[in-house]
């Protein structure tokens, strides 16, 4: 039999063993192209001169009608041995008649329950890690409040420094300590919810606006009672803060308050 490479048009002689080895696919020894040998397969070469082998048009697979042998699956070769006793010969059991192992439903349920529990724990950890940002959401806060009421946890207080108003401020030399200043301020919470006492940032600057000194004061620096600090600043509530700081010098002519 003969076949032709469609790339370089080289014609090769081959037999059934070569076709069976590659399931019809062969590699050209001239251009190394892998191609299907069946479309150009021919028993003989056409009369010369010729440019190529005639291609076989695609058609339906031929029907095989002359069986030679139909082995029975599942029967070992020794069952057909002459030395094997007749009692040792067994017959293959059909697939539908073979006993099947019961499905391990309980084990699958345990896996599903374990995965569900781990997923719930992961969600709980994410909620706990982001409780501050989630608690600031007006839609989620009531849901989280009910959750905390059921599991005895507390939500961090809402915080919005844009709702804090500086009602008054003053800076003057300390009456009894040389080289020191007294800075006082009154702060009001204009929010409709209680929020924690803020960190107050005070900066001193010169005539050109250059910062000369800056300091941050925590709530414990101006609210001495721990219970009052823990309760937070209520709506429309005010707090008076007084600080004693070192005088940075005569160049400090302006001061500014900020909240964090």
Domain boundaries, the chain: 1-57, 129-156, 161-259
Select the more confidently predicted residue: 260 or 152.
Answer: 260
Does residue 75 register a pLDDT over 60?
Answer: no
**Confidence at residue 144, expressed as pLDDT on a 0 to 100 scale:** 74
d(Cα 11, Cα 121) in Å, to the nearest integer? 70
pLDDT single digits (tens) 30-40: 999 998 888 88
Does residue 26 register a pLDDT over 90?
Answer: yes
As given in the structure block, the two tokens for residue 112 are 């599903």
Q: Does domain 161-259 have CATH number 3.40.50?
A: no
As given in the structure block, the two tokens for residue 48 are 């010369």
pLDDT single digits (tens) 158-206: 888 999 999 999 988 998 888 899 999 999 999 988 999 999 999 988 8
Q: Distances in Å between the alpha carbon of 63 and those of 19, 37, 67, 71?
A: 20, 21, 11, 20
Give the up-direction half-sphere exposure of residue 82: CA atoms within 13 A in the CB hemisphere: 0
Closest of 11, 95, 13, 17 to residue 49, by C-alpha: 11
As given in the structure block, the two tokens for residue 75 are 């029967």
| Beta partners for residue 151, in sequence order | none
Asked if 30 contacts 12 with a C-beta cutoff of 8 angstroms, the reply is no
pLDDT single digits (tens) 81-126: 555 454 444 455 556 556 666 665 567 788 888 888 898 888 878 8
């Amino acid at each position: 039999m003969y076949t032709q490479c469609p790339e370089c048009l080289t014609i090769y002689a081959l037999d059934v063993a070569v076709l069976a080895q590659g399931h019809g696919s062969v590699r050209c020894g001239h251009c190394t192209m892998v191609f299907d040998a069946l479309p150009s397969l021919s028993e003989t070469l056409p009369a010369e001169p010729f440019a190529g082998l005639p291609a076989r048009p695609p058609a339906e697979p031929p029907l095989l009608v002359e069986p030679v042998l139909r082995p029975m699956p599942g029967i070992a070769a020794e069952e057909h041995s002459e030395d094997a006793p007749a009692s040792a010969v067994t017959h293959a059991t059909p697939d539908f008649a073979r006993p099947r192992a019961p499905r391990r439903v309980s084990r699958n349920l345990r896996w599903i329950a374990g995965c569900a529990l781990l997923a719930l724990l992961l969600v709980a950890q994410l909620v706990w890690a982001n409780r501050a940002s989630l608690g600031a959401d007006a839609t989620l806060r009531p849901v989280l409040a009910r959750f905390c009421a059921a599991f005895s946890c507390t939500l961090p207080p809402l915080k919005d420094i844009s709702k804090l108003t500086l009602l008054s401020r003053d800076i003057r030399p300390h009456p009894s300590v040389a080289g020191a200043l007294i800075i006082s301020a009154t702060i009001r919470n204009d929010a409709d919810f209680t929020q924690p006492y803020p960190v107050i940032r005070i900066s001193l600057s010169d005539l050109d606006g250059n910062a000369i000194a800056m300091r941050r004061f925590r709530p414990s620096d101006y609210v001495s009672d721990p219970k009052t600090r823990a309760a937070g600043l209520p709506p429309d509530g005010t707090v008076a803060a007084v600080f004693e700081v070192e005088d940075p010098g005569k160049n400090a002519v302006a001061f500014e308050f900020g909240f964090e």
